[in-house]
């Protein structure tokens, strides 16, 4: 009996230590890394984290992929801010923002983005820049608020025909992603996610490699993808990525985004094309170009540009191409030349 009591007490102590480790770490992370931006209250208890840089106009707005935060744009935002005002943010449920109050569909997010811009005092016109799922958000924003938009740059936007219900074979992938992400929430509460990602991005990586190996081939595959994509980002932001991925709310937010994919597809199928606004569509060399019919579904003035050296993350593989596309949109909106050397 004494042995069982000792084991139980030891397990309880480890769980308590894990909770304390996570809570204290999250508090320190927020104080250490979130001071550059500000939180905008958009109502119903939801506050979105906003990071602005530069001055002038039009404002360039950045929207990240389905589970990404403003950190994905840090290098490009820094460069673009040298010739105009820029704004990136974390969607509800991700990064430093509070949990969302609505389904994570492009229309809902576009409405929240509009509310944030109004309450932050950031006036139109805007040049919208969106990657992957974020490209769908920017398309919806342009349809809902066309008078606000001067131009759009879509960085390999999510292709709805590749996801359910248009491609029902991918439903199992959605279900698996939602299930695995749900498992990560209690793991993060216990501080194990913090232990793993801090090891991977801030230390030797031995602990993360051990945990990935224990999870089998799937764990090693995920670890490899994380190393590949995060490795393309500036090393100074790696600790902030680790801070985001340590938070239980991050996995809850990711889960809500993933489970909303079928509703996202239904919404976008019913969305009108963008009318009268120039759109630059960047397609990676690793993917097939969009046909004229697909381009017409996006808008009536879409120019497709191939990024020959890129996979899905064009803004990380060929950032100069994205920056040049943004510069051209800003120049068209202002009718002023911007030197490439800035």
Where do the domains of the chain lie? Answer: 34-191+246-334
| For range 115-141, the mean pLDDT | 98
Q: What is the predicted pLDDT for the residue at 216?
A: 46
Q: What is the pLDDT of residues 307-327, one digit of tens each?
A: 999 999 999 999 999 999 999
Q: What is the DSSP letter of 311?
A: S
Give the model's pLDDT for residue 11.
74
Residue 210's pLDDT band, with cuts at 50, 70 and 90, is very low
Closest CA to 131 of 160, 156, 96: 156
What residue ranges in the chain does DSSP mark as E strands?
Answer: 38-43, 46-53, 59-63, 86-90, 126-131, 149-155, 279-284, 302-307
Q: Tens digits of per-residue pLDDT, 66-105?
A: 999 999 999 999 999 999 999 999 999 999 999 999 999 9
Query: Scanning the structure block, which residue is given the tokens 């994509």?
Result: 229
Fold entry, domain 34-191+246-334: Rossmann fold (3.40.50)
Q: Hey, what are 254's tokens?
A: 């990711």
């Amino acid at each position: 009996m004494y042995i069982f009591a000792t084991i139980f007490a030891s397990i309880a102590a480890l769980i308590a230590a894990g909770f304390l480790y996570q809570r204290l770490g999250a508090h320190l992370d927020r104080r250490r890394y979130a001071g550059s931006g500000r939180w905008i209250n958009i109502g119903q208890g939801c506050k979105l984290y906003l990071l602005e840089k530069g001055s002038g106009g039009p404002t360039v707005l950045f929207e990240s992929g389905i589970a990404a935060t403003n950190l994905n744009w840090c290098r490009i935002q820094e460069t673009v801010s040298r010739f105009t005002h820029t704004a990136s943010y974390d969607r509800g449920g991700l990064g430093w923002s509070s949990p969302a109050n609505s389904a994570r569909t492009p229309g809902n997010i576009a409405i929240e983005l509009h509310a944030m811009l109004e309450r932050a005092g950031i006036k139109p016109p805007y040049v919208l820049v969106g990657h992957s799922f974020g490209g769908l958000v920017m398309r919806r924003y342009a349809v809902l608020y066309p008078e606000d938009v001067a131009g759009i740059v879509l960085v390999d936007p999510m292709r709805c025909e590749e996801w359910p219900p248009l491609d029902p074979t991918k439903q199992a992938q959605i279900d698996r992603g939602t299930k695995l992400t749900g498992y990560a929430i209690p793991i993060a509460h216990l501080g194990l996610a913090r232990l793993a990602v801090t090891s991977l991005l801030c230390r030797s990586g031995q602990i993360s490699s051990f945990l990935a190996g224990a999870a089998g081939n799937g764990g090693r595959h995920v670890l490899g993808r994380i190393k590949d994509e995060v490795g393309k980002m500036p090393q100074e932001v790696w600790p902030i990525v680790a801070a985001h991925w340590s938070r239980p709310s991050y996995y809850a937010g990711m889960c809500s985004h993933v489970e909303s994919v079928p509703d996202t597809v239904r919404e976008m199928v019913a969305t009108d094309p963008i009318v009268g606004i120039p759109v630059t569509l960047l397609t990676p060399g690793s993917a097939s170009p969009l046909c004229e019919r697909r381009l017409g579904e996006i808008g009536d003035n879409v120019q497709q540009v191939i990024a020959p050296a890129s996979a899905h993350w064009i803004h990380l593989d060929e950032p100069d191409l994205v920056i040049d596309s943004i510069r051209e949109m800003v120049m068209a909106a202002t009718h002023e030349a911007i030197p490439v050397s800035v």
